[in-house]
């Protein structure tokens, strides 16, 4: 029974770390990546649609993103959506594709991005700790209801802490990798 709780909590901790990685991938680090456009939503025949569902996004070189819509009529909408976004990028359209040039980051902007990354990583750590608390509560409840012994409960709580430590370290590793990527010149 304790194993089931640990397995469930571990799966959810993995998802928390994966969500953090996805969140950090959408932060601009001076390098072109299609993940930058994950949050862009385009008005497509009156329906808000994610950009990646109406166009192909490619990276022809490290500083350029190329967006090629499957339907040329949506080109203006894509252009408008990118301009409205908080990316701070100006789209260049040639009538069939849109190119986004990613400017190099200033040192000040890099430091701001690192602060944002640290904030998101702390949110990830909090999510992992909340899952630990939830798992600990389940284990203590099983002990109270006499479903498991006191020894099983103590071992389960120790295992839960080891699991938490492992995923907190994973969050820290993800943060360190993103910081390094941002601070690269």
Mean pLDDT, rounded, of the chain: 87
With beta carbons less than 8 A apart as the criterion, state whether 72 and 97 touch: no
Q: How many domains does the chain have?
A: 2
> If you average pLDDT over residues 118-140, what whole number do you get?
94
Kindly indicate the confidence band of residue 156, based on its pLDDT and cuts at 50, 70 and 90: very high
Looking only at the bridges linking them, the beta strands covering 47-50 and 55-61 are: unpaired
User: Which pLDDT does position 27 carry in this prediction?
Assistant: 72
- On whether both 74 and 142 belong to a single domain, the answer is no
- On whether both 177 and 111 belong to a single domain, the answer is yes
What are the tokens at 154?
């103590």
Kindly indicate the confidence band of residue 161, based on its pLDDT and cuts at 50, 70 and 90: very high
| Residue range of the domain that includes 116 | 2-25+106-183
Given 101, 119, 153, the domain boundary residue is: 101
User: Which pLDDT does position 71 carry in this prediction?
Assistant: 85
> 150-170 burial string, b = 16+ CB within 10 Å, else e?
eeebeebbebbeebbeebbeb
> What's the CATH code of the domain at 39?
3.30.1360.40
> What's the CATH code of the domain at 111?
1.10.132.20
> If you average pLDDT over residues 133-161, what whole number do you get?
92
Kindly indicate the confidence band of residue 116, based on its pLDDT and cuts at 50, 70 and 90: confident
> If you average pLDDT over residues 42-61, what whole number do you get?
88
> If you average pLDDT over residues 91-112, what whole number do you get?
83
pTM above 0.95, yes or no: no
**76 pLDDT more than 80:** yes
């Amino acid at each position: 029974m304790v194993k089931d709780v640990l397995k469930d909590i571990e799966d959810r901790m993995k998802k928390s770390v994966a969500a953090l990685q996805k969140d950090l991938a959408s932060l601009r680090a001076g390098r072109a990546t299609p993940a930058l456009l994950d949050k862009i939503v385009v008005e497509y025949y009156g329906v808000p649609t994610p950009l990646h569902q109406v166009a192909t996004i490619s990276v022809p070189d490290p500083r350029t993103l190329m967006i090629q819509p499957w339907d040329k009529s949506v080109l203006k909408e894509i252009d408008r959506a990118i301009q409205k976004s908080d990316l701070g990028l100006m789209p260049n359209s040639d009538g069939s594709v849109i190119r986004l040039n990613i400017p190099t980051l200033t040192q000040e902007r890099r430091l701001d991005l690192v602060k944002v990354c640290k904030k998101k990583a702390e949110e990830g750590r909090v999510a992992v700790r909340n899952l630990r608390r939830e798992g600990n509560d389940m284990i203590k409840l099983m002990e109270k209801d006499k479903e498991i012994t006191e020894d099983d409960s103590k071992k389960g709580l120790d295992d839960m802490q080891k699991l938490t430590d492992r995923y907190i370290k994973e969050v820290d590793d993800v943060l360190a990798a993103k910081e390094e990527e941002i601070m690269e010149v």
